C-alpha cells in the first residue's frame, strides 16, 4: 500500500484537503499561465479597437505618499493601461474562469450540486475579488513606480499579493459551493456515504 493510500485511510479529511488544495493550486496556476499568455497580446488588440483612453470608476484623484493617482475600483488610469488594458484584463479573467470553474467543480471537488447557484456564487466571488484587487493595484503600481521600485519587483509582488489573496478567497468559496449538500438544507452526510 502506498504512503498516500495509508495516509488517506488514517486521516480521510486531511487527505481530502491535501488533494483538493493541491489540485486547486495546480489548476489555478495553469489558468493563470493561460491568462498571462493572453495578456501578452490582448492589450494591444484592444488599443487598436478602443484607442488609448483612460477609463476608471469612481476615478477619484488622490495623493498617497506624495504620489498623485486615480482611485479606481473598476478600470485603469492611462498610465496603467487605460480602457484597453481593463478590457484585456476582464476578458482574460472571464475566459480563465470558463476554464477554471469546470475543472474545480468536476475534478478538484467532484461536485454534483446545483450548477446555476454554483456558477452565480463563483461569479460573485470572482467579481468581488477582481474589484478589490483592482483597487489595490491602482494604488500600489503608481506609488511603487514613483518610489523607484523596479518593474520586475513590483510585478512579482503584485502577482503574489493579488494571486495569493484571490486563490485563498476563491478556494474558500469553492470549498463551500462545491461541498456535498450545498443548497440542500435536508442533506445528511450519512446519506452521501450510502450513495
Q: From first to last of the 195 residues of the chain, give the pLDDT tens digit.
A: 588 788 888 999 999 999 999 999 999 999 988 998 998 899 999 999 999 999 999 999 999 999 999 999 999 888 888 999 999 999 999 999 999 999 999 999 999 999 999 999 999 999 999 999 999 988 998 899 899 999 888 888 888 888 888 899 999 999 999 999 898 877 766 555 554
123: in domain: yes
pLDDT of residue 53: 94
188: in domain: no
158: in domain: yes
Report which DSSP code applies to 66.
T
172: in domain: yes
193: in domain: no
Three-state SS at 188: coil
Total structural domains within the chain: 1
pLDDT of residue 1: 58
User: How does 10-49 read in b/e, with b if 16+ C-beta sit within 10 Å?
Assistant: eeeeebeeeebeeebeebbeebbeebeebeeebbeebbee
189: in domain: no
Q: Is 121:84 a contact under the CB 8 Å cutoff?
A: no
12: in domain: yes
Q: C-alpha grid cell for residue 35?
A: 491568462
Name the pTM for this structure: 0.83
Cα–Cα distance for residue pair 29/187, rounded to 1 Å = 33
18: in domain: yes
Q: C-alpha grid cell for residue 121?
A: 456564487
Q: What are phi and psi of 102, to 5 degrees?
A: -65, -35
Q: Which domain holds residue 176?
A: 3-183
Q: What are phi and psi of 15, to 5 degrees?
A: -65, -40
Amino acid at each position: 500500500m502506498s504512503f498516500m493510500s495509508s495516509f488517506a485511510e488514517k486521516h480521510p479529511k486531511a487527505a481530502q484537503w491535501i488533494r483538493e488544495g493541491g489540485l486547486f493550486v495546480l489548476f489555478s496556476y495553469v489558468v493563470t499561465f493561460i491568462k498571462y499568455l493572453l495578456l501578452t497580446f490582448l492589450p494591444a488588440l484592444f488599443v487598436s479597437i478602443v484607442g488609448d483612453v483612460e477609463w476608471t470608476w469612481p476615478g477619484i484623484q488622490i495623493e498617497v505618499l506624495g504620489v498623485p493617482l486615480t482611485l479606481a475600483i473598476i478600470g485603469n488610469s492611462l498610465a496603467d493601461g487605460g480602457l484597453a488594458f481593463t478590457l484585456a484584463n476582464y476578458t482574460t479573467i472571464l475566459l480563465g474562469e470558463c476554464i477554471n470553474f469546470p475543472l474545480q467543480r468536476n475534478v478538484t471537488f467532484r461536485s454534483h450540486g446545483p450548477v446555476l447557484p454554483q456558477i452565480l456564487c463563483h461569479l460573485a466571488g470572482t467579481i468581488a475579488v477582481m474589484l478589490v484587487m483592482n483597487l489595490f493595484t491602482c494604488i500600489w503600481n503608481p506609488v511603487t513606480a514613483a518610489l523607484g521600485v523596479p518593474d520586475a519587483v513590483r510585478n512579482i509582488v503584485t502577482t503574489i499579493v493579488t494571486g495569493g489573496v484571490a486563490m485563498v478567497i476563491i478556494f474558500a468559496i469553492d470549498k463551500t459551493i462545491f461541498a456535498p449538500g450545498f443548497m440542500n438544507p435536508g442533506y445528511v452526510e450519512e446519506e452521501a456515504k450510502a450513495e
